[in-house]
Amino acid sequence: MKTQFFPYTFFEGDFVKTEDAKVSIMTNALQYGTGIFGGVRGYYNKDENAIYIFRLEDHIARLHSSARILGCPLPYDEAQMKDIFIELVKRNKPEGDVYFRPFGYVGNLELGPNLANTKLDFALYMIPLGEYMPLGKGLQLKVSSWRRISDNAIPSRAKISGGYVNSALARKEAADEGYDEAILLRENGTVSEGSAENIFLVRNGELITPAVSEGVLEGITRRTIIQMAADMGIPTQARPVERSELYIADEVFLTGTGCQVAWVESIDRRTIGNGQIGPITQKLREKYFGVVRGTDSDYSEWRTKVELG
Ligand code: PMP
């Protein structure tokens, strides 16, 4: 499948034609994975001819946290970056839902994986994006034979490009064996997350999710769901989860900017609950879609509206 893209991209300090946003084969980030990135969604509202960007400030803050973990500053502060997002939307005039990929990368051509005295370059592009994972069906997951990278190897808390080889290996194994997605365990055996999603279990009317110290990315959708659930009176326990607890959960779902809220039908071929979407997952999912699209007026502080008229 050919990726579609929009005409403009922010690259090397300017809005340029997307086909001109190119780096050298010698680029350090391409060779060594020395970059950090984000993934942000914008939802198109046809009646208002506007894009609602979801939790933009939080995504920008996380990008800066990733840069801090790498030890290399980004060239723009939070306010400047927000302006770049908004200006790019206005130039590209989307007529459907979009996905933004902000990317901070070591753009020099030097030999060797060196982050010392390095300022990151910054680029932002957009693609049209509907579903990242199928939403109409339950997902079939596999506990991966690969282990999640540890905080003292490549921190999962940061979205570091090179760290996604870990995700790609797990995803490949799952796909090769006919599953939709992988779940990675840590070296000590506890559950961390999917290749690009956080995981939630429902047991006895409560949510359970691996704590942020369990080798996970601090997901913005994870935080969103925990908040929405709390406001519905559903508590969340963030704590270590063992593999076998997955099998006996009443409901399991994945969260992420890409997959949004995706329900899980089976894990390691063991059916979760009765093999249907569970009532709590359903309720949270409906709320989530209403809020991100702005058809539900709650949590308006999470939406940045960009008018395209
Ligand atoms: N875990 C990993 C490893 C991810 O790459 C992502 C996607 N950014 C997530 C979880 C979900 O994070 P978010 O909800 O912020 O998109």
Our answer on whether the CB atom of 220 is closer than 6 Å to any ligand 1 atom is: yes
Query: Which of 169, 184, 198, 291 has most ligand 1 atoms within 8 Å of its beta carbon, as the pocket-test mutant?
Result: 198
Find all residues with CB under 8 Å of 276, minimum gap 6, and list them: 138
Our answer on whether the CB atom of 193 is closer than 6 Å to any ligand 1 atom is: yes
Q: Tell which residue, 33, 104, 48, has the closest CA to residue 72.
A: 104
- CA-CA distance, 35 to 299, in Å (whole number)? 32
Our answer on whether the CB atom of 260 is closer than 6 Å to any ligand 1 atom is: no
Quick one: pLDDT at residue 1?
A: 52
End-to-end CA distance of the chain: 31
Quick one: pLDDT at residue 2?
A: 61
Our answer on whether the CB atom of 161 is closer than 6 Å to any ligand 1 atom is: no
- CA-CA distance, 304 to 117, in Å (whole number)? 34
For 25-57, write each residue's pLDDT tens digit.
999 999 999 999 999 999 999 999 999 999 999
Token pair of 152, please?
Answer: 């003292």
Query: Which of 223, 257, 288 has most ligand 1 atoms within 8 Å of its beta carbon, as the pocket-test mutant?
Result: 257
159 classed as catalytic: yes
For 77-113, write each residue's pLDDT tens digit.
999 999 999 999 999 999 999 999 999 999 999 999 9
Residue whose Cα lies nearest atom 9 of ligand 1: it is: 197
For 239-263, write each residue's pLDDT tens digit.
999 999 999 999 999 999 999 999 9
Q: Tell which residue, 169, 195, 191, has the closest CA to residue 181.
A: 195
> How many A from CA of 110 to the centre of ligand 1?
30
Q: Is the pLDDT of residue 224 over 80?
A: yes
- CA-CA distance, 34 to 193, in Å (whole number)? 22
Please give, one letter per residue, the 3-state secondary structure of 77-142. CHHHHHHHHHHHHHHHCCCCCEEEEEEEECCCCCCCCCCCCCCCEEEEEEEECCCCCCCCCCEEEE
Query: Which of 216, 221, 302 has most ligand 1 atoms within 8 Å of its beta carbon, as the pocket-test mutant?
Result: 221
Rounded to two decimals, the pTM is 0.97
- CA-CA distance, 229 to 288, in Å (whole number)? 10
Question: Are the C-beta atoms of 75 and 64 separated by less than 8 Å?
Answer: no
For 151-164, write each residue's pLDDT tens digit.
999 999 999 999 99
- Please give the share of the chain, as a percent, with pLDDT higher than 90: 95
Per-residue DSSP letters for 42-77?
A: EEEETTTTEEEEESHHHHHHHHHHHHHHHT---SS-
Measured CA to CA in angstroms, residue 100 lies from 5, 123, 263 at distances of 11, 10, 24
Quick one: pLDDT at residue 134?
A: 78
**Confidence band of 186 (pLDDT split at 50, 70, 90):** very high
Q: Which atom of ligand 1 sits closest to the CA of residue 156?
A: 3
> How many A from CA of 220 to the centre of ligand 1?
7
> How many A from CA of 133 to the centre of ligand 1?
13
Our answer on whether the CB atom of 181 is closer than 6 Å to any ligand 1 atom is: no
Residue whose Cα lies nearest atom 10 of ligand 1: it is: 197
Q: Which atom of ligand 1 sits closest to the CA of residue 38?
A: 8
Residue 159 main-chain phi, psi, to 5 deg? -90, 80
Question: Are the C-beta atoms of 276 and 255 separated by less than 8 Å?
Answer: no
> How many A from CA of 111 to the centre of ligand 1?
31
Once rounded to an integer, what is the mean pLDDT over residues 266-282? 98
Our answer on whether the CB atom of 183 is closer than 6 Å to any ligand 1 atom is: no
Measured CA to CA in angstroms, residue 262 lies from 128, 136, 250 at distances of 19, 9, 15
